[in-house]
Amino acid sequence: MKDTVSVLCLVLLVSVLEVAVAKPNSATFIKCLHDRTSPKNPITDAIFTPDNTSTFLSSYFSYTKNKRYSSPNQNLLAIVVAEHVSHVQATVVCAKTNGIQLRTRSGGHDLEALSYISSVPFVILDMHNLRSITIDVSRKKAWVQAGATLGELYVKIKDASKTLAFPAGVCPTVGAGGHISGGGYGNLIRKYGITVDHVVDALLVDVNGKLLNRATMGEDLFWAIRGGGGASFGVILSWKINLVEVPKIMTVFRVNKTLEQGGTDVLYKWQLVSTKFPEDLFIRAWPQVVNGTKRGERTIAVVFYAQFLGRADKLMALLNKNLPELGLKREDCHEMSWFETTLFWADYPEGTPPSVLLERPTNPIFFKSKSDYVKKPIPKEGFEKLWKKMFEFKHTVWMQMNTYGGVMDTIPANATAYPHRKGNMFKVQYSTTWLDASETETTLSLMRELYEVAEPYVSSNPREAFFNYRDIDIGSNPSGETDVDEAKIYGTKYFLGNLKRLMQVKAKYDPENFFKNEQSIPPVRFM
């Protein structure tokens, strides 16, 4: 009898192990999709599988921005390009019940491609067709679906009002779903804060496929998705946002200062005064390697981009008094509407038609980005060390420095899940691009070295990082599991003291950790 029981236990154990290691079946997943959607909103044309190579690859490539991840691996079972909320709900439920990992992609700008790659069997839920935008001018509000781009949102706002805007990023092809949920920012940051400071409601599909709004999801989850990223908690369907008032006429300028023109000295002075300017003024400093005046020569050009919520004469007086080293001239200043500034910041020439912001180009490049927060002035010798390392790059490399202060100093770090508020002088984005896959390892190594050179001059304990500038170097987990200790490493850098609450929210709403990726938030309950 004892032997019989042992054999039965062994058979049962083997069966359990076989189930555990069995690969998820894409056929049952697709059948589940059809079973859970209505013929009124057919899902057939929204499903792309490797069986039809051309359409499958076309769908994958259409929103793949980083050429480091330009080929789908064998773990990608299907792409669902949702056209209705029921498609989103079905994809979540069917992926979960079939043991398939889910990655959600809005605009494809995830800097480490975690929205469309995985080393375990997975499906991509592509949101780009869910892009409706509704503007309510009288209430100064808008509903924006996750698949809409910032460019589309800006055009809609422009068509509705000359004095309303939304404080978000300057890249028009970024998807609203990820940009807003990670705490996206732009040139209105000192006046109005960041995206999540203006979210008043949201629609989210949870782990059970239920469609929730702010009232039904509860304040904990609503807090978490405003800065903590949506991908750890569900699928963001749309955001309700407050629009902000801007003057009819604003002023922008772009001024370059090379090293030979005293660029380092001007940059040093910029960091001393930029956070003290009135909140109507935002100045970005953008050091980058450029060709020098002589053949074969290279130098650093610090490009100063500015936006001022007012007229040029007032801006001139402000700069000449507080940053005369910049040498700003009246002809450098351009007065224009808020919408025209969005074209300026996207580097389109004057007179470019607004419709250009509706375009969704598919031009992936090789790139890598990292981020830092600076809390005290970087000495000139520090900048010189950074320039020396930047000169070692063969291709494009830059450091984009975005000034803080203003209203950011007044918003508590725990008001939303985005914690990087008071005490920061500016945020840095390090970026490089290159041309060929053979250069990838060398370039990535140089980026890590540049990051190391910057270490003495930036935040520490922890060395903070911006979640929307995803960086796998600061810590990550395997695709199929989430080690809490490892998650605390990258999570503390992204979310500081808000990580504990984020983990508690995760434990409440996704206790089995279905929504996960290499840098997701783990479910942890604290006593």
pLDDT per residue, tens digit, the chain (527 aa), is: 334 333 333 333 333 333 333 467 799 999 999 999 999 999 999 999 999 889 999 999 999 999 999 888 899 999 999 999 999 999 999 999 999 999 999 988 999 999 999 999 999 999 999 999 999 999 999 999 999 999 999 999 999 999 999 999 999 999 999 999 999 999 999 999 999 999 999 999 999 999 999 999 999 999 999 999 999 999 999 999 999 999 999 999 999 999 999 999 999 999 999 999 999 999 999 999 999 888 889 999 999 999 999 999 999 999 999 999 999 999 999 999 999 999 999 999 999 999 999 999 878 999 999 999 999 999 999 999 999 999 999 999 999 999 999 999 999 999 999 999 999 999 999 999 999 999 999 999 999 999 999 999 999 999 999 999 999 999 999 999 999 999 999 999 999 999 999 999 999 999 999 999 999 999 999 86
pLDDT the model gives residue 526: 81
- The CATH class for the domain spanning 133-245 reads alpha beta
Distance CA 519, CA 103 (A): 12
Residue owning tokens 């090293």: 259
Q: Which residues, in sequence order, are CB contacts of 115 under 8 Å at separation 6+?
A: 103, 104, 105, 106, 108, 124, 178, 231, 517
**250-334+361-455: which CATH topology?**
Vanillyl-alcohol Oxidase; Chain A, domain 3 (3.40.462)
First-last CA distance in the chain? 45
Distance CA 184, CA 189 (A): 10
- The number of beta carbons lying within 10 Å of the beta carbon of residue 206 is 20
Q: Which residues, in sequence order, are CB contacts of 433 under 8 Å at separation 6+?
A: 365, 366, 367, 395, 396
Distance CA 202, CA 234 (A): 12
- How far from the centroid of its chain's Cα atoms is residue 266's Cα? 30
pLDDT the model gives residue 96: 97
Distance CA 442, CA 58 (A): 30
Instruction: List the catalytic residues.
Output: 469
Of the candidates 213, 179, 210, 209, which has an alpha carbon nearest to the alpha carbon of residue 196? 179
Residue pair 432/366 in contact (Cβ under 8 Å)? The answer is no
DSSP E strand boundaries for 195-312: 199-205, 211-212, 235-242, 244-245, 250-258, 281-291, 298-308
Scanning 22-164, the segments in alpha helix (DSSP H) are 26-35, 53-62, 85-97, 150-160
Domains 26-126 and 133-245 share a fold: no
Q: Residue 22 phi/psi, 5° resolution? A: -65, 140
Distances 87 to 42, 79, 82, 154, 204 between C-alpha atoms, Å: 9, 12, 5, 27, 13
Structure tokens at 130: 């869910």
Cis before 462? omega within 30:
yes
Q: Which residues, in sequence order, are CB contacts of 77 under 8 Å at separation 6+?
A: 24, 26, 29, 49, 50, 100, 121, 122, 123
Where do the structural domains in the chain lie, given as residue ranges? Answer: 26-126, 133-245, 250-334+361-455
Of the candidates 394, 468, 463, 389, which has an alpha carbon nearest to the alpha carbon of residue 429? 468
Q: 346 in helix, strand or coil?
A: coil
Q: How much is the pTM?
A: 0.94
Residue pair 178/110 in contact (Cβ under 8 Å)? The answer is yes
Residue pair 359/107 in contact (Cβ under 8 Å)? The answer is no
To which H or E segment does residue 74 belong?
none
Architecture field, domain 26-126: 2-Layer Sandwich (3.30)
Residue owning tokens 């069997």: 121
Starting at the earlier edge strand, list the strands of the sheet with 281-291.
333-336, 250-258, 298-308, 281-291, 397-403, 426-434, 366-374
